């Protein structure tokens, strides 16, 4: 067995209704690196939540696209289920928009990259070879990060749903997401791919 992983919390990256994301230094042989830790805040902790957390982490770990934050796995730290993710430096699109209008050409490039990422997540084959049907369900400027190199990254798949969660779709169609950015389909309780197209 290798040396156990150790995490040194460096700061808070963001907070939401479903948890907190921390910036941390991962210390493990042969070296260390900076990661993001998403610590969930379960509404009803227990075995059921643990199963769902593990399942979601496994699904997100399958998705590979340059514009989607990479998931390294799921760990338990101080009694909390924590998703270990790639740390993405840069600034989110919300802050960029607050600084002034985004040039049309740049905006189109961002939209194209995000659309390709969401399409890749939806079509990504799962363990059985069938598409995951992964829906983000909370696409908004604060969940889109622009790196120093001008790369676009889609963040926070914490409210995502894949095909294996289809039984939750109808009852939770409006539970997840940000109302100001929900598509009309979500307002009609339809949890479909069109729901990842912002209504703004």
Residue among 85, 65, 97 nearest 20 (CA): 85
Tokens of 78: 């101080």
User: Got the DSSP string for 69-110?
Assistant: --EEEEEEETTEEEEEEE---SEEHHHHHHTSPPPHHHHHHH
Kindly name the residue from 72, 92, 119, 138 that is annotated as catalytic.
138
Q: How far apart are CA 14 and CA 48, in angstroms?
A: 26
Place of tokens 């700061």: 11
The reply to whether 138 belongs to the active site is yes
Residue the block writes with tokens 């802050």: 95
Question: Which 8-state DSSP code applies to residue 198?
Answer: -
- H or E stretch at 116: helix 104-123
Which residues are the active-site residues? 138
């Amino acid at each position: 067995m290798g040396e156990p992983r150790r995490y040194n919390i460096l700061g808070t990256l963001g907070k939401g209704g479903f948890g907190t994301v921390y910036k941390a230094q991962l210390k493990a042989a042969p070296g260390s690196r900076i990661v993001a830790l998403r610590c969930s805040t379960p509404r009803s902790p227990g075995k059921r939540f643990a199963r769902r957390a593990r399942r979601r982490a496994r699904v997100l770990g399958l998705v590979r696209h340059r514009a989607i934050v990479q998931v390294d796995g799921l760990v338990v730290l101080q009694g909390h289920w924590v998703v270990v993710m790639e740390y993405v430096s840069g600034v989110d699109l919300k802050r960029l928009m607050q600084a002034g209008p985004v040039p049309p050409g740049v905006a189109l490039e961002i939209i194209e990259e995000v659309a390709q990422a969401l399409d890749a997540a939806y079509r990504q084959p799962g363990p059985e070879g069938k598409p995951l049907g992964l829906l983000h369900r909370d696409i908004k400027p604060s969940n889109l990060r622009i790196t120093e190199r001008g790369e676009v990254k889609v963040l926070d798949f914490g409210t995502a749903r894949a095909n294996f969660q289809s039984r939750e779709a109808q009852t939770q169609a409006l539970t997840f997401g940000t109302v100001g950015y929900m598509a009309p389909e979500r307002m009609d309780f339809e949890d479909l791919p069109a729901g990842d197209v912002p209504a703004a």
